[in-house]
Amino acid sequence: MVIRSAKVIITCPGRNFVTLKIETNQGVYGVGDATLNGRELAVASYLTDHVIPCLIGRDAHQIEDIWQYLYKGAYWRRGPVTMSAIAAVDMALWDIKAKVAGLPLYQLLGGASREAVMVYGHANGVSIEDTVNVALDYKAQGYKAIRLQCGVPGLASTYGVSKDKMFYEPADADLPTENLWNTEAYMRVVPDLFKAAREALGEEVHLLHDVHHRLTPIEAGRLGRDLEPYRPFWLEDAVVAENQDNFRLIRQHTTTPLAVGEIFNTIWDCKELIQNQLIDYIRATVVHAGGITHLRRIAAFADIYNVRTGCHGATDLSPVCMAAALHFDRSIPNFGIQEYMRHTEATDEVFPHGYYFKDGLLYASETPGLGVDIDEEKAAQYPYKRAYLPVNRLQDGTMFNW
């Protein structure tokens, strides 16, 4: 079965998504997510101009060899653009293989290690009270884990706190929005948020928080320690991670579990973090970390160091990526949790899928393949619209860490 053709589909049903569709000479096709928030067209070009010509005529079953060919053969390795493009090819090929086998993908990845996967939802609010009220709604909907983010007193806007309670979309403008940041005010409000949330929500529900890389290691150590009485499930992206030793310093000061990795692209970004047991959860996900093939390698490596997975699952990861992540999550032994942010209705219509949410868990589709498709006619109704993630500055105007 050889690859006959492949194309890139760009659509914006509320936000931009880039999807690769690979067709074989036997009529079977597969889809892969290639969305890189704020840099979508770079991946689209990488695929159309540089990858697709090399795929035509190859055996669609040779997933591992095609992965190695695209990674090693390009000479220029790693990076989000390259790895998102490779991921899209990898997802589409796994989709094809599972369709041909007549099995939902998780069956080809070793079968189910669990029936369904625990997810966390996002409770956002301008104030502590607002956030706690939204978190109570999530609890009432059956969520077992909830991420808490609230506005920082004195700051007009804060990255990670959405204006919309149902849908969170950080890529909000034709040119980057600029937010201001105040570490001291932030370090005061987050422990108060967790205290109020524990009191309102009780002991059973897991509580998470994302720092979005806005602290130094010693500040993160302090925040982790201040949150310990409220037993957070994790503290995410506490610091920037280019210097993996940052996490050693945090570890010396707190037992709050640490999660990082949504912007990682390969195992090399987290090798030291994992083998030195400096983190508890690795958040790399299918689309930005080289597809199912490479993410399985990262997870297997993490497993021997007691690090569990917590795949990124924000709205910029399309339903194609979410479907792939759920088959992966369902199969691996060291699954921890899956992030889940609802897509808009228009997105769900462009990407019909079989996965569903029930009682705090997501269930992977049981149809052969990934269990997700793209409706090309509907996709064509939503042309690409440039959108950027915001930029962060300290109040004195200095460009900040992340």
DSSP letter at 155 equals: -
The stretch among 26-34, 97-105, 138-146, 312-320 that binds ligand KDG (CB under 6 A) is 312-320
User: Measuring CA to CA, which residue among 12, 91, 149 is closest to residue 326?
Assistant: 91
Q: Which of 159, 168, 340, 382 is catalytic?
A: 159
Rounded CA-CA distance 235/281 in Å is 10
Please give the structure tokens belonging to residue 203: 């002991």
Least distance (Å) between residue 259 CB and Mg ion: 8
Instruction: Give the rounded distance of the alpha carbon of 79 from its chain centre.
Output: 16
Pick the binder of ligand KDG from 32, 104, 125, 170 (CB under 6 A): 170
Number of residues that bind ligand KDG (CB under 6 A): 10
| Residue 316 lies near ligand KDG (rule: CB under 6 A) | yes
Site string for ligand KDG, 242-271 (x = CB under 6 A): --------------------x---------
- What residues does 7 pair with on adjacent strands? 21
Rounded CA-CA distance 285/368 in Å is 22
Per-residue DSSP letters for 220-248?
Answer: HHHHHHHHGGG--SEEES-S--SSTTHHH
Rounded CA-CA distance 8/18 in Å is 7
| Residue 210 lies near Mg ion (rule: CB under 5 A) | yes
Residue whose CB is less far from ligand KDG, 210 or 226: 210
DSSP letter at 152 equals: P
Position of minimal CB gap to ligand KDG: 314
| Residue 232 lies near ligand KDG (rule: CB under 6 A) | no
| Residue 339 lies near ligand KDG (rule: CB under 6 A) | yes
Q: Can you give the length of the chain in residues?
A: 402
Contacts of 345 (CB under 8 A, 6+ apart): none
| Residue 40 lies near Mg ion (rule: CB under 5 A) | no
Please give the structure tokens belonging to residue 270: 């987290």
Please, which of residues 256-295 interact with Mg ion by CB under 5 A?
Answer: 262
3-state secondary structure of 291: helix
Annotated catalytic, 50? no
C-alpha dist (Å) from residue 89 to 29, 54, 55, 72: 12, 11, 9, 15
| Residue 42 lies near ligand KDG (rule: CB under 6 A) | no
| Residue 210 lies near ligand KDG (rule: CB under 6 A) | yes
| Residue 314 lies near ligand KDG (rule: CB under 6 A) | yes
Given ligand KDG, Mg ion, none, residue 170, with its beta carbon under 5 to 8 Å by kind, binds ligand KDG
The stretch among 8-16, 71-79, 84-92, 308-316 that binds ligand KDG (CB under 6 A) is 308-316
Annotated catalytic, 159? yes
Binding residues for Mg ion, rule: CB under 5 A, are 210, 262
Binding residues for ligand KDG, rule: CB under 6 A, are 37, 170, 210, 212, 262, 312, 314, 316, 339, 389
